[in-house]
Amino acid sequence: MLIGQLSKHSELSKDTIRFYEKMALIQSVTCANGYKDYPEQTLQQLLLIRTAKNLGFSLNEIKQILEMTSEQEIPAHQMQNIFQEKLAAIDEKIFQLQQIRNMLSQFTQGQPCPLRRDCSIPQLK
């Protein structure tokens, strides 16, 4: 499948597809005419990448998942662990963002400005 077709079917730009190939998330075969041909499974890989990105996974995390799936199907319990780890990371990020929000809220309610020299910003955990 040529990159134009892949782009159309995956609803990803050609630049995004090229970037994913550069990151070794997908692979192509260069034909004699110089065009890159992508195997049929590449479309499924791109859809998996898009879904995983929408779930908050980084490209490095997605690469690890793709490497595991290329060897064999990931057992359900292992996917469960991956999802639980991602949930824990998201919960930690939410906690940090709530702390930042609370501090900003305090500053809008009369607390000293943290951007002035005479103020110190409390450290986040």
Beta-sheet strands, E only, within 21-104? 29-30, 36-37
Residue 77, phi then psi, degrees to nearest 5: -65, -35
Single-letter amino acid code for the residue at 93: K
The CATH number fitting domain 1-72, selected from 1.10.630.10, 3.40.50.700, 3.40.30.10, 1.10.1660.10: 1.10.1660.10
Q: How far apart are the C-alpha atoms of 25 and 105, rounded to whole Å? A: 42
Q: Spell out the per-residue pLDDT of the chain, length 125, in tens.
A: 999 999 999 999 999 999 999 999 999 999 899 889 999 899 999 999 999 999 999 999 999 888 887 767 788 888 899 999 999 999 999 999 999 998 888 888 877 776 766 665 555 55
Counting beta carbons within 10 angstroms of the beta carbon of residue 115, is it exposed (0 to 12), middle (13 to 18) or buried (19 or more)?
Answer: exposed
